[in-house]
Amino acid sequence: MVQQNRITARTKLLGIIGHPINHSLSPVFQNAALNALNLDYVYLAFDIPTEKLMEAVQTLRMWGLRGINVTVPHKERIIQWLDKLDDTASLLRAVNVVLVKDEELVGYNTDEIGFAKSLEFNQVHLDGKNIALLGAGGAARAVVSALVRGGAHKVLVFNRSPERSLRFQQWAKSSLALEIETDSWKNFIDGHSPFLGQLDILINTTSLGLCQEKMKVPWEKIENCELVIDVVYNREETSLVKEARKREKKAFDGKMMLLFQGAESFRLFTGFEAPIEVMENALNEAVRYSW
């Protein structure tokens, strides 16, 4: 029988890689879930800068890891060193879980289901909604795929770099058979896009806010927007969520998405259904006491 927190020579290793990684809450709730189910694993965070990623991936087999989560900025870049991708990771061209299976490295993506479940948890209905999506990276692909499956009426993407916007459009066309409209970042922050007046939901998938940077939002132009979702999360609420609530809009950050993607990751790592309540309590406690 495994005792809580007792690490032995047989304990198996799980982890998360990213850069920076200090803000990650995954170790807190993954270890709580492993302990609750009495599973002989430990989950640690590893700060891996981009120039060390290849080396880190190539040593995963050697260290006998069962699997890892992958976070910003490695989700796309890591793909070139993996042996296989599951259908969702292949569709989204982004990986947030790698399993070591019979010496093969297999990539998965649990962000889309994490986001979809966070919408369900917050009772968000997408039918007929006009949605502005900020950002066009890996998280944006997971989010837009969930929005389309959920029946959103129209999604318009605003991204800072036009190159990434274009790549996003091309990806949506080839992978989701979807014509996505885009507009410039400047037209968003200056409030010049006519779409803003018809907006129901604003979703941030840029990495702005990760370090509590303030985003310039043309609040006076999006008065009809009823809901603001930030996939970014901090220990406290993100400044976008705080600003939205000040204006009496419903708003939530990426913590529930994190939790639900983590629950799916846990199932992939261990083969057991995740004890969601245990994970949620651990997450809330970590946030409350700033662990």
Q: Which residues are catalytic?
A: 75
Q: Which of 113, 115, 194 is nearest to 158 (CA)?
A: 194
Is there a contact between 41 and 92 (Cβ–Cβ < 8 Å)? no
User: Given 3-state DSSP classes, what are the helix, strand and coil percentages for the chain, each rounded to the nearest 5?
Assistant: 40, 20, 40
Task: Give φ, ψ of 45 to 5 degrees.
Answer: -105, 140
For residues 4 and 174, which CB has a smaller minimum distance to ligand NAP in the complex?
A: 174
For residues 75 and 129, which CB has a smaller minimum distance to ligand NAP in the complex?
A: 75
Please report how close the Cβ of residue 211 comes to ligand NAP at its closest, in angstroms. Answer: 9
Please report how close the Cβ of residue 65 comes to ligand NAP at its closest, in angstroms. Answer: 21
Q: Hunting for tokens 């389309």 — which residue is that?
A: 148
Please report how close the Cβ of residue 19 comes to ligand NAP at its closest, in angstroms. Answer: 11
CA distance 68 to 47: 13
Please report how close the Cβ of residue 39 comes to ligand NAP at its closest, in angstroms. Answer: 22
Determine the residue with CB nearest ligand NAP: 137
Per DSSP, 152 falls in state: B
For residues 77 and 250, which CB has a smaller minimum distance to ligand NAP in the complex?
A: 77
Q: List residues near ligand NAP by CB under 6 A.
A: 72-73, 75, 111, 114, 135-140, 159-161, 164, 205-208, 210, 231-233, 254, 257-258, 261
- C-alpha count within 13 angstroms, C-beta hemisphere, residue 172: 25
Per DSSP, 160 falls in state: S
Q: Which of 83, 86, 81 is nearest to 108 (CA)?
A: 86
For residues 65 and 240, which CB has a smaller minimum distance to ligand NAP in the complex?
A: 240
